[in-house]
Amino acid sequence: MAALGRRTKGPGRVYLTGGATALLHGWRSSTIDVDIKAEPEPAGFFEAIAHIKDALDLNVELASPDDFIPPLPGWRERSIFIERHGELDFSHFDLYSQALAKIERGHERDLRDVESMIRNRLVTTARLQEMFRSIEPDLIRYPAISPAAFATAVDAVCALHRDS
């Protein structure tokens, strides 16, 4: 974050997602890449990423939940501020968006991440189901997703990990 803030020129917000969020929240000890989304992309953003990837031998991906599932209403407001470096504000991408994207993917590690989010009370199962229902009509725009299978997966995760 510090290196990116030093090397970019201009204001922006960078959202961390996936393994970076898991590392910073402490439920994972490693990740294979750092997934980010910039909004807006400040001047020098891509050049800074290229430099950081080489200097730190780090895989940086431009990816966020809204690349894979419909954007959840209010995701920006629910994104959690981390810190500021230079003119860049860093935040965790909305955890409900992250959780739903992970449920849709269905990988074992992703489902463990969702379990950690629920266990650490970063998301609640009731709100997770509510958030899913809010995007369900928009799933028609994502032909690779089976709305019925996605709904079943969300309901199963929520039933298995009911909030305490």
Q: Model confidence over 76-134: pLDDT tens digits? A: 999 999 999 999 999 999 999 999 999 999 999 999 999 999 999 999 999 999 999 99
Whether the predicted pLDDT of 50 surpasses 50: yes
Task: Please choose, from the candidates 44, 58, 61, 53, the residue with its C-alpha nearest in 3D space to the C-alpha of residue 6.
Answer: 44
Of residues 28 and 68, more confidence is placed in 68
User: What pLDDT shows up at residue 119?
Assistant: 93
Mean pLDDT of the chain: 93
3-state secondary structure of 108: helix
User: What pLDDT shows up at residue 164?
Assistant: 44
DSSP assignment of 45-104, as one string?
HHHHHHHHHHHHT--EEE--GGGTSPPPTTHHHHSEEEEEETTEEEEE--HHHHHHHHHH
Whether the predicted pLDDT of 163 surpasses 70: no
Task: Please choose, from the candidates 8, 21, 7, 48, the residue with its C-alpha nearest in 3D space to the C-alpha of residue 120.
Answer: 21
CA atoms within 13 Å, Cβ hemisphere of 24: 20
